[in-house]
Structure 1
Amino acid sequence: MRLPRTAHTSRPWRIHEIAGDFQVEDVWELPVTGGPDDLDRLVRQFTSSGGTALSSPLVRTLFAIRWKLGALFGWDKPAAGLGGRVETLRDRLPEDLRAGTRGPDLQAVPFTSVFQTHDEWVAESANRTVHAVMHIGWVPDGASGRHRARMAVLVKPNGLLGAVYMAGIKPFRYLGVYPRLIGAIGREWEAGKPAA
């Protein structure tokens, strides 16, 4: 379910300390609930190369088209990415986050982990069009003691090219990528739950 931006901006996330110059593009509630210590399991499941969250035929096709366009227009050259056109957010981390757990990289698409805490995991990607951040937060769900996952996407478009790119991919994100990605994350979570 899509959430208002305030569902992300009103929380005391550590990401706010290092990505204040990014705009919140999307916020989604994921169909994942668990105990207070389950974020690490969700992150490992989502980032594993064996995970299926990004493997639906439509999502694979959309990403294949995107990579072909990136190759054609030179969007994904190393000089346009992290450590090239933009510095990694790891360079902005306060000492406690820098010394803490980095977390796993996302294997299926080029997102590099920035940091992981007990209730946050942050990964980033950059190319000629945009510097993007994926934030998975683990939010207490009322008095039940359960927690719920939320995903936020933060972006810093690269000028007019980046703004046009973000506007151009918006329908594909909302109609193709997000519904299938979010559904697959929920199914994987349910399938991977330990026996009670």
Structure 2
Amino acid sequence: MRLPNAAHTSLPWRVHEIAGDFRVDDVWALPTPGGPDDLHHLVTLMANGGKEPAERPGEAAAVEPGAAPEPGITSPVYRALFAIRWRLGRWFGWDRPGSGLDGRVSSLRERLPADLRAAPRGPDFRSVPFTSVYQLPNEWAAELANRTVHTVLHVGWVSDGAGGYRGQMAVLVKRNGRFGAVYMAAIRPFRHLGVYPALFRAIDRRWRATTPRR
């Protein structure tokens, strides 16, 4: 379910300290009912594409931009839309080396205060080119940058108002000039009608499947 931007901006997330120049693009309630300490399960599922974490450190390394998302916390529609996006990126050079983090823009890791820098960074992604920035018991932030935008994926763990908890996802964006603004406007219908519904259905399915282990 989509939420008003205030559902993100009104809460005291630490991401506000480092992403004040980013615009809140979307806020969504995630279908992940759980207890007060379950955010790390959601983080693991999202970063590992819905798969179980690797048994050995380093086994679940992040992939290069352009790779299609793996099965797991995805769906055929989700994978197809991402495949189209990466193909367009190759054609138009949106994801060329030097156009992203530590190239066109600096990582938000450089903005972290001392306590967040000392906190766990968070997991590497298996199947999409996001990079974790920091992970706390109640929030997690990851980033992606290319020629068009610098994006932050923020996942918080919030009360559901009925004694339980659930995930809440916010997408924060800094557009790269007019070209970035046109790009975001062009892909908005695809994100809202295709990417997000498919992603959330897959999250719901995978979350329910892992409930007995949690």
TM bucket by the smaller chain?
over 0.9
Length-normalised TM-score, structure 1: 0.95
Equivalent residue for 1:61, pick from 73, 80, 98: 80
- In the alignment, what sits opposite 1:189? 207
> Number of residue pairs matched?
194
| 1:111-133 residue CA offsets vs partner (Å, 9 max, x unmatched) | 00000001001000000000001
Distance 1:50 1:28, change over 3 A: closer
Alignment partner, residue 161 of structure 1 = 179
Cα distance between partner residues in 2 of 1:155 and 1:174: 15
In structure 1, the residue matched to 2:144 is 125
The alpha-carbon deviation at position 42 of structure 1 amounts to 0.9
- Whose helix fraction is larger, Structure 1's or Structure 2's? 1
1:108 to 121, 127, 150: 127
Contact preservation (8 Å) 1:105, 1:123: no
- Per mean C-alpha deviation after superposition, the further-off stretch among 43-52 and 185-194 is 43-52
Alignment equivalent of 1:140, drawn from 159, 163, 166: 159
Instruction: Note the C-alpha offset of 1:154.
Output: 0.3
Q: Deviations over 1:123-174 (max 9, x none)?
A: 0000000000100000022361x11110000000000110000000001001
Q: How far does residue 57 in structure 1 lie from its aligned partner after superposition?
A: 1.3
What is the distance in 1 between the residues matched to 2:153 and 2:50? 20
Distance across 2 between alignment mates of 1:194 and 1:72 = 44
What is the one-letter code of the residue matched to 2:15?
Answer: I
Give matches, 1:85-96, under 5 Å: 85-96=104-115
The runs of 5 or more residues in structure 2 that have no matched partner are: 52-71
% identical aligned pairs: 63
2:32 aligns to what SS in structure 1? strand
The alignment's TM-score, normalised by the length of structure 2, stands at 0.88
| 1:150–1:49 CA distance, 2 compared to 1 (3 A) | closer
The Cα RMSD (Å) is: 1.3
User: Which segments of structure 1 move beyond 6 Å, counting only runs of 4 or more?
Assistant: none
CA distance in 1, matches of 2:91, 2:148: 14
2:33 alignment partner, SS class:
strand
Distance 2:213 2:43 in 1: 19
SS at match of 1:79: coil
Report the counterpart of residue 11 of structure 1 in structure 2. 11
Whose strand fraction is larger, Structure 1's or Structure 2's? 1
Deviation digits for residues 7-58 of structure 1 (CA, Å, limit 9, x no counterpart) = 000000000000000000000000111111100011001111453223x111
**Match of residue 73 from structure 1:** 92
Residue segments in structure 1 that go unaligned for 5+ positions in a row:
none
CA contact (8 A) 2:49 2:73 kept: no
